[in-house]
Every structure is written in structure tokens, then in C-alpha cells.
Structure 1
Amino acid sequence: MTFSLDKIRTLLLEHQLLKEFVTTDGWHLQLTELSTRSFTKISYDSRQVDRDTLFFCKGLNFKEEYLVSAIQAGLSCYVAEQPYEVNAQCAIIVTDIRKAMAVLSMAFYDYPQNELTVIGFTGTKGKTTAAYFTKAILDQTTQNKTALLSTMNTTLDGVNYFKSHLTTPESLDLYKMMRQAVDNQMSHLVMEVSSQAYKTQRVYGLTFDIGLFLNISPDHISPIEHPTFDDYFYCKRQLLLHSKKVIINHETDYYALLAESINQAGVPVLTYGREKTADFQVVTDQTDSLAFHLSHTQQAVAHTNKQDLPMIDGDYRILLAGDFNQENAASALLAASLAGASVSDGQTGLAHARVPGRMDQLTHKNGASVFVDYAHNYLSLKNLLQFAKKENPTGKLIVIIGSPGDKAISRRKDFGVVLSELCDIAILTTDDPAHESPQKIAEEIAAAITNKQVDVRFEMDRSHAIESALSLCTAQDTVVIAGKGVDLYQKVLGKDEPYEGDYFIAKRLIEESDI
């Protein structure tokens, strides 16, 4: 792939992003001798550049010394929001570096999104589960030609997975991955879209074929993420305005505003939920808690052209417990149907769909139930604990939980609120502390536990915390290990430290137990 300065200039002008070019002979808007200068690589990592690389100076933590080292490695041209006093052949100065990177990245990789059916999920909880469900269904439809970008894992060939570093990758990485997916003969891409993806312009200029809004509650509120819930919610709902078709949980909070937004934008919409006021109603099977029926309602017939109504009425069964997972499955069925899936694809796909770290259940040798789940915000934790309480209403509910450092500070109080409502014993521990003290984070959670009946304990060694919970429980009790699921790393001081994984620790300890 080659990318000329003349093409770059045209794109930046088209999006009103160009300030000026700074070359060795001054500041210009036009290019003469340099217009044919081309690049075969693009990068925002100063350690991965050479003379043929177009380099983006992006990020709050960007330092001029990174650019200096890149130039020493042979770099001759960079893109930035300000010129630097360095010896570069050309500096491309833009009004917004992140928008510029998105615009130029998609062009460099020749707009791979146009060769895929792209489905995007957003919401405070359930994105990963719904995305995995959708991939499982579409794998039946496409014969495993569905790529996935999720919080936990990514696959660009439909088979091999690798660990994800961001829920939604940086724009440059996103379009590179899309191009790889296309080169791997993928026809569909299912991806999670975080609020930060819109906050930091990672998906600027991208239109999704199908966009889904699952739910909303306060999360990611912190000085380095979203300063307020309003900002978080605003970023979340941008997905609806940048999708060709939209699917919404009719029972999500603030539904009225979402409905007004899409109505104003003129985007076709379908809704799902437990009530008949939704276009598609989810009803749990009375004899099998893992099974449900999905059918369209009169509401759907009234406001949708019959030819646009997905034919997905049927009976389905999933491997994950909880009403909320059936609702995630309903969203996946709708999305997959709009992307070409049949009822049988949905039934087969959901019957075998597994989601790493979601509602993994173990049984203690004494009979106690043990649930391992990636629940890591207010809504997901509350739903998980309500389910666990419902399953064993007479026993104690023992919860192991922590909260990440350097982000989502509001979660700490939220966790304390949920634990106050539903927990009997809370063992507060480490969960990706980053540059913060895990003990301090745990104390902030504890400060929000107002129910004096909750037995609060501290154990910063997460393995020991799980061991302690398993030693405390009796046959009637339920142990919930929340936060990391099957994640094999703890983020500590900027590094991924190896970690055995909640599920594997619990499984090992139960097998080794003498009880």
C-alpha cells in the first residue's frame, strides 16, 4: 500500500482538518515538489518507524522526545496538532490528530469496512456476551467467516483468538485489523464499541451496518475518562447516529431520549424486551431457565414495513444462566437476522455459544455454588448478584471483588452500593490496580458499604481471597468471584503481570479440597 502527500492533503481538506504543511522552506497549504512523496507504512508508535512511515503524534502522554527518536530512526514526515522544532522533511499540522488518524487510516487500508458487514454493540453491560452470541450465530450463516473484536479476545480469521488491549482499538489498528479480516476472507465483523471510542474519535467517520444499544448506567466516570454521566451517555448514543440500522433494548433507562434521537436522525429501528411494548418480546420457558421464546409483537407490525421485519420468531436455548443473558441473546438474534441469519442458525449458534469468563459455574465439593463472572460495573454486578441470590435464597452470598486502578473511579462507590444491598460477606481484593494501591481502592469500595450486616474483609492477594471464600462457604451458600473471569493477567504499574485466572484458581482449589 502506498499513500501520497497529495492524497493526504485532499482527505484532510475534505474533512476540514488541515491547518498547514511545515516544510524546510516554510509554511504552506499547497505542495509542489513533495506532492508525490509517498508512504508505505503508518504508525503512532515511535519505535516502529522508518523513512517510509507516516507518523502520528497522538495522545495526552505524547512527548516530543518520542518524535526526536523517530527522526533519528529515519522518519521524515509526521502528523501533529502543532509543529515541533525537529529536523523533519515535512510536518502535517491538523486541527484534531485523532480525527486525522481515523480519516487517513481508513484510506490507507482502502476502506475495508466497505467489504464487511459491520455490527457494533454498545452498552454498560452485556456487550461481550451479545457480541459472542452474534458471532456464534453468524458462524452458522457464513461458515465461520465472521471476525470479532471484543473486550476479552479478538479473531480476524474466525478461528484463532488473541488478547485484546482495548475494547475498541485505536483507529489505525482498527482499520489494519479490518483489512486483515478481509484478506482472511471474512464477510462479517462483530465488534464492541466503547464510549471511549467516540470520546477519543477511534471510530470517527465509521458507519456501522447495524448498531445495537443494550443499556446504560453510570460507569467510566473519572477525570481521565468521562467527567460526568451526561458525557458518558452522550458518547454511548453516538453509535445510534452512525449506523444504517439500529436495535435498542426497549427497557433500558433513558429509552425516551434514545427513541427521539433515532427518530430525528431517521434511522430504522427495532426494539426488544420483556414487555409487549417492544417489537420483539423475550419470554423465559417455565420449565427450563436456560430456554426462551422470542416473537414479534403487534407493536412491530404497526410501525415496521412487513418486508423489513426479521423472521426470527422461535424457541431458543443458551448455555448461560440469567434473564439478562436471554436479553443479550435476543439482541444477537435480531442483529444476526438483519445480517442474513436464519432461525435455525440462531438456534444452533446459541446452543453452542460459550463466552470466556461469563457465568462460569463450579460446584464446591460441599455442594455450594460458585460463579465466576467478568462482571465489572454496577449493572453487571447487580444482575449477577440478584441471580445468585435467587438461586440460593437461604444461604449466604460471599463475593470476591476489586476494582481497576487509574480509571472508572465511580465503580468503587457503585460496587459498595450493590454489596450493601445483596452481599453477606464481601472479600475485597486486587483487580488490575495499575498505578494505584489495591488496598486504597478496596478501602474506597468498603467506604460505600453502608449495610453494617455485611462482613467486609480485605485480602490483596486475589488467589488467597478466592481460597478464603471457598473455605468459608457451606452447602447452602453461593460464592461469586467477580471482575476478571478467565483473564490471565493483572495490570500492575503499566505491565501485564501473569495471573492464573479466577476460574482456574477456583477450579484448582475445589479439586484440591479435602471437603
Structure 2
Amino acid sequence: MKRLEVKKMSLSLKSIRDCLLQENLLKEFIVAEKWQLTLPDSLDNRLVKDISYDSRTVTSDTLFFCKGLNFKEEYLEKAIQSGLELYISETPYDVPATLGIIVTDIRKAMAVLSMAFYDYPQNKLKLIAFTGTKGKTTAAYFTKYILDHTTNNKVAMLSTMNSTLDGKNYFKSQLTTPESLDLYRMMAEAVKNEMSHFIMEVSSQAYKINRVYGLFFDVGIFLNITPDHISPIEHPTFDDYFYCKRQLIAHSKTVIINHESDYFSLLKEMATLKQVPMIVYGTEKNEAVDYSYQTIPGDSLSFTIRSAKDPLNINGNYRLLLGGDFNKGNALSAMIASSLVGATQKDCQKGIQEATVPGRMELLTNNNNAKVYVDYAHNYDSLKNLLAYVKEEHPTGRLIVVIGSTGNKAISRRKDFSKVLSELGDVAILTTDDPADEDPITICKQIEEHITGDVKIRTVLDRAEAIAEALRISQPEDAVVLAGKGADQFQKIGGIDTPYPGDYQIAESIIWHSKK
């Protein structure tokens, strides 16, 4: 997408000092190699006209954030050689800068200063945030489709798959939740584009490393929690992962919680202790559930919403384009969130019926009539739910699964995938899925060594060839599942996003060419 230029903001050094003092983040200033607690009068009104954490994009008027585990002093030195005069860091550096601002926490400082620099754009938008181990992207898309009807397409969205700041043009997301500086720049761009609502996914990492420090959401939705992202470079334990996830509850003005989520009682207790108004949804009809959903017999895509009091006026029948009972729960969470910020029941019905999600439950038919499902399922719960649904839809055939696992993160998923494949799969074709700096052969072997039972295992590292192999061996009663990549059009290899056509496009092309 062609990016719109956000009007350049500015912030005085005095304002920066005051902001840091208010948050108790300021340690000292370094001026002319001297440490001091006050700014010289000559610098009080000096304006910062840009902020950056990329040493390659600085000028004399940039405030440069020295952040990240991989930060090196040489980055700062090169930036100063390019004209940089102002830097902010947790560590004093012996460099010829006009001013060094030393803080206790660089990421918190970057968050609060980014807010101020972009004139607090979050206050000019209705903010809706989803967290959970699975379903965030689908629920976010449901919400956008609903609110597009409410606002006449004035809804911005940041999602794992695609993001939009003008409600129409989409671009590839690099992180589930962007760095704070990028987040507020994007919010400011959405405000410039006259957006009224801003939907985003909030990852556990966003709280762990303070990307959303100090940010409060109008509506926060907690979908579910299961072990994921457990690795030395993400969360060392499930307890750490869960703690970071549930911070969304403490930073929402109203929270929506899934009654079927593991540890629901703890989530409810946290909302109560923090005095956050709470709406609970689920499949059960009981006193703890405010809104429940049930599938309409004879139509697996239709469901009914019921509430004893229905304060949001959303009781009624709805129909999805996406299969799977789990998507009905995602849809209900989106309807509740949308209703809280202005949507009507009619908006909900239209939006839910129209909603599609790139790479989620996309369906093709092979030339021999075997069904081919493309889905982004990339952790234990999402893969298990997907395969269970497909197995139920195709009880007499084999389940052929093409799957890999990402490198450099979420290492626990490899054993998780093995468990699901052992329980539900008939044929597993192991392949490449964003190996990053790891050897994809090693990743596949780590999945294979934990698979038990009668699952037939093949390893085909080239993902396009793995998809072709799955389609080739399929029989009319079988179902082929292409899991993990969804609509993603890149493979992360080393530090490079390598272009990749996408699972759906590859499968569709193979099917089309085999007809000739």
C-alpha cells in the first residue's frame, strides 16, 4: 500500500523532561560530558522534530532511542557521524552528542514519548483490542466487518495477517503488535485518514517488553489461554506467558471474557479486583454467562445468540461463511465488542455473514473431489480445533496434513503439533514454515520424533512440493489440510522475508494445471 505521510509533529526537550519525570523514568542528562539533573536553559525549548530507533534514519533534530538486546554502541556512533545530536538510553555513552537522556527503562520511555510526540492519537479513536492464544485475527476481522457497516468504512485495524490504516488498503504486518513508536505513528495516520475506530491484536510480547505501556483500550477481549510461545527468547514459562496475556484486563475500560477459557475463574477474579466492567460469553447458559451461542440444528454455519437480559440487543440468529464452532465464539466476542462501541444488531448480522479472513478456513476442491482446507492454524489449540472440525466433516476419508513449525521461537509447538497429528492425522507431510535461522530439516525431525501411532510421515522441505505431494496422494474421500501459513506470502529465511505465493495460490494453481 502507498503509505500516507503523517504531518510531522514536534516536541520540546522541556516537554520530554516533564513527561519522563511524571512517569518516574528520568535518571539524568549528559551535557558536554557532564552528568546533571536539569536541562540547560539553552536546550529547554529546543524541538525534537522526529523520533526513531533506526540509526540509519536520523537527522540533527531526531531523538534516537538506543533500544533492544542487539543494540550496539557503534550504531549510535554512526548516527552521530550522520548528524544526530540527541539520544535517549538506559546506558550513558561516551559519544560527542549535544544531549544524552538517560532513563530507567528505554521501552517505557519510548512508549510515553511516542504518545506525546504524535499528540496522543489513542484519545481520538475507539480502541478495541483482542488477546488470546488463538482466534485473535479472526475475531478482529469479524469486528471490522461489523463496524464497517456502523461507521461507513472508518475502521483501522492491525492484525497478524494484514493491517489497514485507511479502512481500504492493506499492508503486511511485521509484528502482531508493533513497537510503541510505530504503533502511535500508525494511530496518528489513522486519525489523519479520519478513522473513528482502531482494532488491534495485543500479543503477550507487547506487554512483556512494554510496547503498549500506558495504553488503555475502550474494549479488551480475552479469548482463551493455552501454553504457547514458551522458549528462551520469548516466555520462559507458561506462568510468565499467562501473566503478560492477562494484563489486557487491567488496561481495558470494559473487558469481554470467554467462559470456556482455561483459568476463567482467575480471569474473572482479576477483572473484579481491578474493578473493570466485564461481559462473559460462552456456550453454556448459566448465571456466569451473559451471552451464549448455540449451533442451529441442520445448518453448521448458523447459530443463535441468547441472553437473559440482552442489554446490547443482539439476541437472534446469525450465519457465518467460516466453518467451525470455535468461529462462532470468535464471532460472538466481536459482536459484543462492536455493540459496545456503537454497532446495531443489523450491523452485526450483516458483518458476520459477509466476513472472510485471509488464510482462515479457505476451501478448495481437488480434481478428484477431495477437499482442501487452507488455515493459519499455528499452535496446539488452533490445529486441534481445525483437524477435529475437518475430521468430523470427512469421517470416512484420511486426513492429510501439510505442516511445519517456525524457527527461532515457540519451540514448544513442535511437540504440540506431534501430539495433535498423533491423535487426529492419518498422513503428515512435514515441510518448511518460516525456519528463520534454524535448519528446517532439524525442525521437521523434532516434530517427527514425537509422533506416535499409525500416522504415515513424509518430509518434503520445499513447501510447494509438499502441497503438490498432498494433492497427488489424496483420494476422493480424503481431506487435505494446509496448516500454518494461511495467506502469508513470505517465508522467513534467515533475516529475510522471502516471497512465497501462499498456500491457497499454490494449491489452486496445481489443481488448475492438473485439469489440462
TM-score (norm 1): 0.97
Q: What is the CA–CA distance in structure 2 between the aligned matches of 1:493 and 1:2, rounded to whole Å?
A: 37
Q: What is the CA–CA distance in structure 2 between the aligned matches of 1:14 and 1:487, rounded to whole Å?
A: 42
Task: Say which is worse superposed, 284-293 or 121-130, in terms of deviation.
Answer: 284-293
Picking from 20, 31, 35, the partner of 2:39 is: 31
Give the secondary structure class of the aligned counterpart of 1:466.
helix
C-alpha deviation, 1:80, in angstroms:
0.4
Q: Which residue of 1 aligns with 2:512?
A: 511
C-alpha deviation, 1:318, in angstroms:
1.1
Q: What is the CA–CA distance in structure 2 between the aligned matches of 1:334 and 1:95, rounded to whole Å?
A: 39
C-alpha deviation, 1:450, in angstroms:
2.2
Q: Does 1:455 align with 2:418?
A: no
What aligned pairs does 1:272-291 form with structure 2 within 5 A after superposition? 272-277=281-286, 278-291=289-302
Q: What is the CA–CA distance in structure 2 between the aligned matches of 1:293 and 1:513, rounded to whole Å?
A: 42
State the Cα deviation string for residues 358-404 of structure 1 (Å, max 9, x = none): 00001111111110001011111000000010001111100000011
Q: Does 1:19 align with 2:27?
A: yes
What aligned pairs does 1:120-131 form with structure 2 within 5 A after superposition? 120-131=129-140
Q: What is the CA–CA distance in structure 2 between the aligned matches of 1:460 and 1:25, rounded to whole Å?
A: 55
Q: Which residue of 2 aligns with 1:99?
A: 108
Picking from 329, 344, 347, the partner of 1:345 is: 347
C-alpha deviation, 1:265, in angstroms:
0.5
Picking from 395, 401, 419, the partner of 2:421 is: 419
State the Cα deviation string for residues 233-286 of structure 1 (Å, max 9, x = none): 000000000000000001100001001101101100001111002110101111
What aligned pairs does 1:177-188 form with structure 2 within 5 A after superposition? 177-188=186-197
Residue segments in structure 1 that go unaligned for 5+ positions in a row: none
State the Cα deviation string for residues 451-483 of structure 1 (Å, max 9, x = none): 2x0111101000000000001110110100001
Q: Which residue of 2 aligns with 1:217?
A: 226
C-alpha deviation, 1:493, in angstroms:
0.8
Q: Does 1:469 align with 2:467?
A: no
Q: Does 1:169 align with 2:144?
A: no
Give the secondary structure class of the aligned counterpart of 2:254.
strand
Give the secondary structure class of the aligned counterpart of 2:461.
coil
Picking from 82, 105, 115, the partner of 2:124 is: 115
Q: Which residue of 2 aligns with 1:367?
A: 369
Q: What is the CA–CA distance in structure 2 between the aligned matches of 1:486 and 1:31, rounded to whole Å?
A: 51
Give the secondary structure class of the aligned counterpart of 2:359.
coil
Give the secondary structure class of the aligned counterpart of 1:513.
helix
Runs of 4+ in 1 over 6 A off after TM superposition: none
TM-score (norm 2): 0.97
Alpha-carbon RMSD across the aligned residues, in angstroms, is: 0.9
Q: Which residue of 1 aligns with 2:498?
A: 497
Q: What is the CA–CA distance in structure 2 between the aligned matches of 1:311 and 1:338, rounded to whole Å?
A: 11
Give the secondary structure class of the aligned counterpart of 1:415.
helix
C-alpha deviation, 1:25, in angstroms:
5.1
Q: What is the CA–CA distance in structure 2 between the aligned matches of 1:514 and 1:165, rounded to whole Å?
A: 37
Q: What is the CA–CA distance in structure 1 between the aligned matches of 2:492 and 2:372, rounded to whole Å?
A: 25
State the Cα deviation string for residues 471-506 of structure 1 (Å, max 9, x = none): 111011010000111111100010011111100001
Task: Count how many residue pairs are aligned between Structure 1 and Structure 2.
Answer: 505
Q: What is the CA–CA distance in structure 1 between the aligned matches of 2:476 and 2:492, rounded to whole Å?
A: 34
C-alpha deviation, 1:514, in angstroms:
4.4
Q: Percent identity?
A: 63
Give the secondary structure class of the aligned counterpart of 1:13.
helix
Kindly provide the amino acid, as one letter, of the partner of residue 385 in structure 1: L
| Cα pair 2:33 2:94 within 8 Å, conserved | no
C-alpha deviation, 1:287, in angstroms:
2.1
Q: Which residue of 2 aligns with 1:7?
A: 15
Picking from 92, 99, 124, the partner of 1:90 is: 99
Q: Which residue of 1 aligns with 2:6?
A: none
Picking from 290, 293, 306, the partner of 1:295 is: 306
Kindly provide the amino acid, as one letter, of the partner of residue 378 in structure 1: Y
Q: What is the CA–CA distance in structure 1 between the aligned matches of 2:374 and 2:508, rounded to whole Å?
A: 10
What aligned pairs does 1:36-115 form with structure 2 within 5 A after superposition? 36-115=45-124
Kindly provide the amino acid, as one letter, of the partner of residue 477 in structure 2: Q
